[in-house]
Amino acid sequence: MQQAGGRRRANRDTPERILDSAERLVQSRGFNGFSYADVAAELGITKASLHYHFAGKAELGQALVERYAARFVAALEGIDAAGGDAPAKLDAYTRIYGDVLRNKRMCLCGMLAADYDTLPPPMRDAVIRFFDDNESWLTKVFEQGRSEGSLQLEGSSHEPAQALVSGLEGAMLVARPYGDVARFESAATRLLASLASATTPERPSRNDR
């Protein structure tokens, strides 16, 4: 009975193990840079087992994006729950990207965006939703910063949200061949500094004293 129970647990764990392996491969090689054979060899299972859990690479890819996006949403909810002003939230947001790079990986959806033209339509839609959701969250943070006076913004709050996502994804790509996380962190710091308020509280005039 223990043996049978162990097999059932292993079978339940197999989809997650497949996703974990495929995610690592996509984050290092891109979606077109790995095959089911690569995953099967890494996990020591048959390709038939992979097809049992994910009918094809398109289904596996969509599941990858959805799981990655769900984790990202949970991380953003954690930042909101921690509170703090807008600059603190933006700093926490950039650390998510830095942590991925420190693990010698790239943003999953950033890698998929590079392969966008060759992705199945459902995966394309999922990648766009990921970036849209990130920009929507950042827009709210920039609106908070404008309201509390901690960020200096001109125009809409959505434009700097787009700029930040694009800037961080680009900074990751450039830092990658150098294997230098500090390079990314420097770029991210400068990007955030350009958005932070440069104003300082005015000193009271003599008439106000």
Domain annotation for the chain: domains and CATH numbers: 2-197 (1.10.357.10)
Per-residue pLDDT of the chain (209 residues; tens, 9 = 90+): 344 444 444 466 899 999 999 999 999 999 999 999 999 999 999 999 999 999 999 999 999 999 999 999 999 999 999 999 999 999 999 999 999 999 999 999 999 999 999 999 999 999 999 999 999 999 999 999 999 998 888 788 999 999 999 999 999 999 999 999 999 999 999 998 887 643 333 434 444 44
| Residue 3, CA distances (Å) to 6, 11, 13, 46, 200 in order | 5, 12, 15, 21, 68
Residues 6+ apart with CB under 8 A from 121: none
Residue 11 confidence (pLDDT):
60
Structure tokens that stand for 138 in this block: 């950042």
Q: Is residue 112 a contact partner of residue 31, using CB atoms and an 8 Å limit? A: yes
The span from the CA of 133 to the CA of 147, in Å, is: 21
**Residue holding tokens 């890494």?**
42
Q: pTM for the full model?
A: 0.85
Q: What is the pLDDT of residue 196?
A: 66
Q: What is the pLDDT of residue 76?
A: 97
Axis-axis angle for helices 57-82, 121-148 (nearest 10): 10
Q: Which two tokens stand for residue 119?
A: 């992705």
